[in-house]
Amino acid sequence: MNERKLRIAVQGCCHGELNKVFATVADMHKRTPIDLIIILGDFQSIRDNSDFQSISIPPKYQKLGDFHAYYENDYYRAPVFTIVIGGNHESMRHLMQLPYGGYLANNIYYMGYSGVVWFKGFRIAALSGIWKEWDFEKKRPSWKFLEENNKWKDSVRQLYHIRKDDVAPLFALSDNIDICLSHDWPSGVVHYGNVKQLLKYKPFFEKDIKSGKLGNPIAWKLLTNLKPRWWFSAHLHVKYEAEITHNKRRLADSKGAKKLKSNSDEIELNLDDESSLDLSCHDDSLDSAEHTRFLSLDKCMPRRKWLEIVEIEKRYDSIPQGLDCDKMYWDPSYIIALQNLEKQSRLVADTPFNEIIWSRFSSGHIDDINWHKYEIPKYESGLQRDEASQTNYFLSKHMLSKGSR
């Protein structure tokens, strides 16, 4: 493996096709080693038929998919360590048991509603779900309430909507983020790529682009705040590339940054004329913190561009002292932000999002980090089938109360 670069297989919407994704990556891994797989939502961690009540898929399209085998049998594992975020077609009855993230299977790690981890010396931030303005300030119903009152079907189309509590700790962070992940696009990125080519494949996007409704305005706000080197998304089922230069005037003028609007749940066109994979390798050797490179990919289907290799140069000057690049860690600044937000949860709940002063919850500069405290435990056999113990471990280690998101 190249210690100077992180070689990533980035996958768009999975839609339960784990075997296909992993077989493709395993074959590539044999030729040139890959360090990480990233799956950008619609993972569909359906354990059994009872999980269908909590997933937003019409009954005629529901299928068990491949995940249940990885969940039930520890022998099945991803060929390369895999990081997953949630989309808008997820088994929420499962994922809501891991609000802070955890192992879904052997070698497969879910980032939770949001999260930040250190992986091989790279700082990766993530936001699951999609934007819907009307649910953003509302609390998400609890897993216990939904399960005990058999309310999953009543809530199925709102549970994956992003909430203020999900994004709050991310807004308390500073920059120096290497990679950000979201399911839907940050709303402003469309203006920094080839819009004409995009409309050739997705002509129905034109109205939303002109009105500033295409994408997630909260994710765009995060992008302009954190200025990550890379931002990966999926959801809209088309490959799209853009490069954002962090010039204040241009960013402020972006239509996507003006107002908080909602994007449509799903827009699909047949892209049968596209190739199934683009295995060209992106290299970011010339990137700097003043630019964010954006890549969105399609869903895992024939003749779609759903997988791409990206190589990211390691920034040795930004790796904290004492961090072991062979281990994975929760990000200390993210954890401290969570703790500060918990202490002032009433203030956050009662204050409109745009009026919150996020610096109040920031960790500031942290000296002498005890990295052992933030180390994410390695996978152990059967851990994926004990979601409660994973969440309780996180709560007992990092949070004041035993409540969860």
pLDDT digits (tens, 9 = 90+) for 219-234: 999 999 999 999 999 9
Q: Which residue has the higher pLDDT, 359 or 385?
A: 385
Q: What is the pLDDT of residue 1?
A: 57
pLDDT at 254 over 80: no
Range 282-307 average pLDDT: 81
Gap between the Cα atoms of 360 and 362, Å rounded: 6
The residues near 282 (Cβ < 8 Å, ≥ 6 apart) are: 293, 295, 308, 309, 310, 311
pLDDT at 366 over 90: no
Range 356-368 average pLDDT: 85
pLDDT at 169 over 50: yes
Range 260-289 average pLDDT: 45
pLDDT at 276 over 50: no
**Residues 390/85, Cβ–Cβ less than 8 Å:** no
* pLDDT digit string, tens, across residues 145-157: 999 999 999 999 9
Range 249-269 average pLDDT: 41
Range 319-334 average pLDDT: 95
**Residues 115/100, Cβ–Cβ less than 8 Å:** yes
How many Cβ atoms from other residues are within 10 Å of residue 110's Cβ?
29
Q: What is the band of 358 on the pLDDT scale with cuts at 50, 70, 90?
A: very high
Which of the given ranges, 19-33, 239-253, 304-318, has the highest pLDDT on average?
19-33
Q: Which residue has the higher pLDDT, 80 or 282?
A: 80
Range 17-43 average pLDDT: 97
Q: What is the band of 387 on the pLDDT scale with cuts at 50, 70, 90?
A: very high
pLDDT at 197 over 50: yes
Range 196-211 average pLDDT: 95
Range 115-140 average pLDDT: 98
Burial class (CB in 10 A: 0-12, 13-18, 19+), 144: exposed
The residues near 318 (Cβ < 8 Å, ≥ 6 apart) are: 123, 176
Q: What is the band of 4 on the pLDDT scale with cuts at 50, 70, 90?
A: confident
Q: What is the pLDDT of residue 286?
A: 44
Q: What is the pLDDT of residue 248?
A: 58
- Domains of the chain: which residue ranges? 5-398
Range 382-391 average pLDDT: 98
Tell me the average pLDDT of the chain.
Answer: 90
Q: What is the pLDDT of residue 199?
A: 97
Q: What is the pLDDT of residue 273?
A: 35
Q: What is the band of 270 on the pLDDT scale with cuts at 50, 70, 90?
A: very low
Gap between the Cα atoms of 243 and 282, Å rounded: 13
Is 94 in a helix, a strand, or coil?
helix
Q: What is the pLDDT of residue 275?
A: 40
pLDDT at 362 over 60: yes
